[in-house]
A and B are shown apart, each in its own frame.
Chain A
Amino acid sequence: MSTVKVNQKARKRAKATDKLATVLIVTFAMAIVAILLGLLGFILFRGLGHISWNFLTSVPQTMRAGGGIGPQLFNSLFLLFLTMLITVPLGLGAGIYMSEYAKPGKLTNFIRLVVEVLSSFPSIVIGLFGLLLLVNTFNLGFSLLSGALALTIFNLPLMVRITEQAFAGVPKEQKEAGLALGLSKWKIITSIMLPVAIPSLITGTILASGRVFGEAAALLFTAGMSTPPLDFTNWNPFSPRSPINPLRPAETLAVYIWKVNSEGIAPDATQIAAGASAVLVIMVLIFNLLARFLGRTLYRYMTASRRMS
């Protein structure tokens, strides 16, 4: 009889502990959600008031109030475009190699290690490497091209992983059907597997773009911390004042936020930083939603599973 009593006591205690633990976990989790959402809300709330068409398109001012972020916004977008132009073919190739050609063994393990190490390098180290090799040795100077190449190094491991996962997700039967038709391996990859992998490739690429868009440390010493006065009517890529000249220095939005915060002397520096931060966060939000939406739509379109969800 006494054992039953003891068991009941233990049971009661266990239940009390369970309740306490649940309350604690829920409190902690709620605290996190509150903190993170609060900060996000704070950024948007403080910044949105400062965002106007004029702010988004006008040039920054160093001494006076009322400067905008026009050139920085353009630089960020153009740099992202250049980076993806270089990263996507390279990342696709290396990712396809890893998922389709690599045979299990020492070499493959080594490449995997390389990708892992490269993806965890601090971005400032990649920036320094860019400064040494691209800016000085290759004599590209502080330029969009240097920045794009540095960001390529920064983004490549992620792109390889995205590609590898996307190709690993293709059903084996589809590949075998291609083999049965006597197609070459490369033909199977490009005509059968790639279309199936495209939805997750696009989702991953857009998410990676968001990361590239907000990167600053790798760009301080590669794309530079200044922008020449741009003439948006001049589309000659060789003219130094042309916005699309890849050899001109280009300060991006993220770098500008850092610069305004650490050495900004304009009277409205805080508001500019708030507005620019809000723009950056909104862009990341757009990338995120776009990735989700496109991924789902393309998946439905490509796999004809329209009735699902």
Chain B
Amino acid sequence: MEQSNTTPREARRRAWPMEKHRVEDWIGRIYTSICVVFLIAVIISIVYFVTSKGVATFAVNGVSLKEFFLGTNWNPQADTPSFGALPFITGSFMVTLLAALIASPLSISAALFMTEIVPSFGKRILQPAIELLSGIPSVVYGFIGLSVIVPFLREHVGGQGIGIGAGALVLSIMILPTITSVAADALASLPRGLREASYALGATRWQTIYRVVLPTVMPALLTGIVLGMARAFGEALAVQMVIGNSPHIPTSLLESASTLTSVITLGMGNTAMGSIQNNALWSMALVLMLMTFVFVLIIRLLERRNRL
């Protein structure tokens, strides 16, 4: 209360806010740094463990790289086991590419519809609906695949229904919302002036979309497609449920096949940790991880182009 005669103790107390200030800042700095260090430690240990287990197949068990990547015979339980993973690698790439081929035109049309043709309705109703759909769990998509797509294919197209075509269809439905929402965001963030300038020149809507809007957002659209492909490539359960799981390179879309993820899903529980069969599965996980890096790299390159 009396401000005039300050004892040393009071002076110290008055200096305290300064101290408290420092203490608080240290708490914040340490806490947030620990979180970031944890994040980095997690990713480094994932990369380290997956790489060391995945490389063990070749370094410890002596499977040749050529056999693993180019061999078509997968028979790990036989007396002379063979570890050709090519059928699974091709399976993964086939379903991913097919899914992207089916989903991309549909998604981009949906995004154009939402932003160019009915902007207000699109923004209020369709965008939330698409966001909702991208949150639907993948096992549910797998269940839809099993109970709608597979019977449909069996009755109207032929074959068993299960197979690479069913897998691609399930994945394409799954990545539709992903691609659509990225594309719609990109289209919506386009400066208004761009479109208006085109209309002012007398261009029709399609001319504006085709000549002005699409070329401008192309890198962003491709980013969306690559994101969708990354999701499709890494999806395990939904694909495993409908693809049939036979270890062969399929010759038709209706033939049963396997992907890297489906083999890992089915095999990991049945093999002993450290055995060569188990290590071969880790090698596939390593391939999955390396593909993730490739996808991230492509997205980065596209984003750099987008900024220019």
Contacts and interface: CB of A to CB of B under 8 A. Distances in A.
A and B held together in a complex: yes
Interface of A: 14-15, 17-18, 20-22, 24-26, 28-29, 31-33, 35-37, 39-40, 42-43, 46, 89-94, 96-98, 100-101, 111, 113-118, 120-126, 128-129, 131-133, 136, 153, 156, 160, 182-187, 189-190, 207, 210-211, 213-217, 220-221, 225, 254-255, 257-258, 261-262, 270, 273-274, 277, 280-281, 284-285, 287-288, 292
Contact of A216 (B117, B139, B289, B293): B139
- Taking chain B's interface residues, is the majority helix, strand, or loop, or is none over half, making it mixed? helix
A39 B148 contact: yes
B contact residues, range: 35 or more
Nearest to B131: A288
Nearest to B20: A184
Contacts of B173: 35-36, 39
Given A120-B292, A284-B135, A28 B43 contact: no
Given A21-B206, A94-B39, A118-B39, A101 B29 contact: yes
Nearest to A39: B144
A220 B237 CA distance: 10
A252 B295 CA distance: 30
Contacts of A32: 106-107, 109-110, 176, 180
Interface in B67-118: 105-107, 109-110, 112-114, 116-117
B32 A117 contact: no
Nearest to B240: A262
Contacts of A111: 36, 39-40
25 contacts: A14-B203, A18-B207, A29-B113, A32-B176, A33-B110, A33-B129, A36-B177, A46-B147, A92-B35, A94-B36, A97-B33, A100-B32, A114-B43, A120-B227, A128-B50, A128-B268, A129-B49, A156-B42, A183-B21, A186-B28, A215-B137, A220-B269, A225-B269, A274-B147, A281-B140
Interface in B1-38: 20-22, 24-25, 27-29, 31-36, 38
Given A120-B292, A123-B234, A281-B140, A26 B117 contact: yes
